[in-house]
Amino acid sequence: MKLQPITDWAQVPIVIDLPFAARLLGRSVESLKKRAQRNELPGAFKVGNLWRVSKDVLRQHIESGR
């Protein structure tokens, strides 16, 4: 099953999981998990044992080009 491209920020939930964030960033889930654990992924936080990312913070990070 091929994933459809995300073409509008309105399609992105307010809080996203690492697989979704990886899709947006073109990175692997594992690399994002390591960055989150090192406090290097803006907007990342844990809910139980799972990492989540704030859409707004991630969007600002992407748009700033960092």
Residue 59 falls within a domain, yes or no? Answer: yes
Structural domain of residue 45, as residue ranges? 14-64
Q: Does residue 7 belong to any structural domain of this protein?
A: no
Number of domains in the chain: 1
Comparing 37 with 62, the larger pLDDT belongs to 37
Per-residue pLDDT tens for 11-31? 888 999 999 999 888 899 999
Question: Rounded to two decimals, what is the model's pTM?
Answer: 0.81
Is the confidence at residue 1, as pLDDT, over 70? no
- Could you give the CA distance from residue 60 to residue 55 in angstroms, rounded to a whole number? 9
Q: Within a domain: residue 5?
A: no
Give me the residues paired with residue 45 across strands.
52
Q: Is residue 58 part of a domain?
A: yes
**Distance set, CA 17 to CA 35, 60 (Å):** 14, 17
- Cα 17 to its chain centre, rounded Å, is 6
Q: pLDDT at position 4, please?
A: 75
In this prediction, residue 66 carries a pLDDT of 62
Percent of the chain with pLDDT over 90: 58
What does the pLDDT read at residue 33?
Answer: 96
In a domain, 28, yes or no: yes
Does residue 6 sit within a domain? no
8 within domain boundaries: no
Burial class (CB in 10 A: 0-12, 13-18, 19+), 54: middle
